[in-house]
Amino acid sequence: MSSINTNRSDEDRSTKSDAGSIHIEDLGMVFDTQEGTERVFEGISLDIEPGSFVTLLGRSGSGKSTMLNIISDVLKPSEGRVQFDSESGGDVTLGHVFQSPRLLPWNTAVENIEYVHEDNSEYTDKLAKQYLDMVGLADHYDKYPNQLSGGQRQRVGIARALSIDPEILVMDEPFSNLDEITAEELRIELMDIWKELHKTVFFVTHDMTEAIQLSDRMLMLGDGEIYADLEVPLERPRQVDSDDFLRFRQRALDQFHSVKDNGN
């Protein structure tokens, strides 16, 4: 994989970053278990264009998190490779948003962002506040995680990921632990941020409606392969109760159920 740079100065962040592309070639993953060898997926090749919003869907156990962890360089694949390219030709930076925000409870919102920049001597808290402003937390700089709601904590997690100015934003079911009203608010905010910052987003979800609402493109993982690759032709903003949305959702559901999951 190409190197991942997370040590940029405030001056570097004063302009909108380039977006990154993801190139996956013949990707395969095998785990050794007590019962023997378990193959999660094999022979997966695809390209994700810079600035696009791509969602990976699959049933529980289909290998979504495994693929995300390979892309994030947390896991090494058994076969194949993942490469990144930046529009500028430099190193690619990945930002991560997790299912739970993983905040340090003894740090304030600002300090939780500063923490990921502790090796950058040029970093100041001005940037942390800038990104907290972006996610609607201008009045919460000095609050601790236990003083924030679930949605506010996840906003801090998003601000932290954005604060490193990534070309690629990797999101692992970030709204699945929130109530639907809060999740919907965050989806709308995420769309606004994506349009403004021109990030490439790789988003994992099991929620079909969420995937259609957010994505340019939907990848369906099951039976050890990407068995469907659907462009979403709907104009933004998308109304989930519109006729066009519901028709496309039914088409996507039919495609989703067209293959049995392999139970991994």
Looking at the chain, the whole-number percentage of residues with pLDDT higher than 70 is 91
The reported pLDDT for the residue numbered 84 is 95
Residue 151 lies in a domain: no
Residue 120 lies in a domain: no
Residue 12 lies in a domain: no
pLDDT digits 0-9 by tens, 127-185? 889 999 999 999 999 999 999 999 999 999 999 999 988 999 999 999 988 999 999 99
Structure tokens at 159: 């601000």
Residue 112 lies in a domain: no
For residue 136, the 8-state DSSP code is: T
For residue 258, the 8-state DSSP code is: T
The reported pLDDT for the residue numbered 105 is 94
Positive or negative CA dihedral for 170, 174, 176, 177?
positive
The reported pLDDT for the residue numbered 37 is 85
Count the alpha carbons within 13 Å of 213 in the hemisphere toward its beta carbon: 20
Residue 16 has pLDDT above 60, yes or no: no
Compute the mean pLDDT over every residue in the chain, rounded to the nearest whole number: 87
Given a contact cutoff of 8 angstroms between Cβ atoms, the answer to whether 232 and 29 are in contact is: no
Residue 9 has pLDDT above 80, yes or no: no
Residue 233 lies in a domain: yes
Specify the CATH number for the domain of residue 83: 3.40.50.300
Residue 39 has pLDDT above 80, yes or no: yes
Task: Identify any residues that bridge with 47 across adjacent strands, giving them in sequence order.
Answer: 23
Residue 25 has pLDDT above 90, yes or no: yes
The reported pLDDT for the residue numbered 155 is 94
Closest CA to 93 of 3, 194, 182, 218: 3
Looking up tokens 């905040």 gives 103
The reported pLDDT for the residue numbered 147 is 96
State the pTM of this model. 0.88
Residue 35 lies in a domain: yes
pLDDT digits 0-9 by tens, 88-112? 777 899 999 988 889 999 999 999 9
Residue 64 lies in a domain: yes
CA end-to-end distance (rounded Å), the chain: 25
Residue 243 lies in a domain: yes
Average pLDDT rounded to a whole number, residues 242-250: 97
Which residue range(s) make up the domain with 62?
17-93+165-256
The reported pLDDT for the residue numbered 117 is 84
Residue 6 has pLDDT above 70, yes or no: no
pLDDT digits 0-9 by tens, 225-235? 999 999 999 99
The structural domain count of the chain equals 1
Structure tokens at 132: 């907290």
The reported pLDDT for the residue numbered 238 is 92
Radius of gyration, CA atoms only, the chain: 19
Pick the more confident residue, 166 or 87. 166
Average pLDDT rounded to a whole number, residues 49-61: 93
At 17, is the pLDDT very low, low, confident or very high (cuts 50, 70, 90)? low
